[in-house]
């Protein structure tokens, strides 16, 4: 028990405090609403772009399977 240091839980390099709460009054601010809207828009655009790319790759792959010698 010589190495047991209870202060390391709250003061040492092992201490990792909880992050602050984003808002204290119980309702989100306009900044967080705007951020969430922009984040969701980026996610939807990324999903649409990847879906279009996947459909193009699928079309190319199906054409290459049907025509073994494209030259």
**Contact, 28 vs 22, CB < 8 A?**
yes
Whether 40 has a pLDDT exceeding 90, the answer reads: yes
What is the helix (H) or strand (E) element at residue 24, kind and residue range?
none
Of 5-14, 43-52, 59-68, where does the model show the most confidence?
43-52
**Contact, 32 vs 22, CB < 8 A?**
yes
pLDDT band at 10 (very low <50, low <70, confident <90, very high): low
Each residue's pLDDT tens digit, 43-62:
999 999 999 999 999 999 98
What are the sequence ranges of the domains in the chain? 29-65
pTM recorded for the entire structure: 0.49
């Amino acid at each position: 028990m010589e190495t047991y240091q209870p202060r390391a839980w709250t003061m040492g390099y092992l201490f990792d405090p909880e992050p602050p709460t984003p808002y204290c009054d119980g309702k989100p601010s306009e900044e967080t609403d705007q951020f969430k809207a922009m984040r969701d828009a980026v996610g939807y655009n990324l999903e649409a772009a990847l879906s279009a790319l996947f459909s193009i790759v699928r079309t190319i792959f199906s054409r290459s399977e049907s025509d073994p010698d494209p030259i």
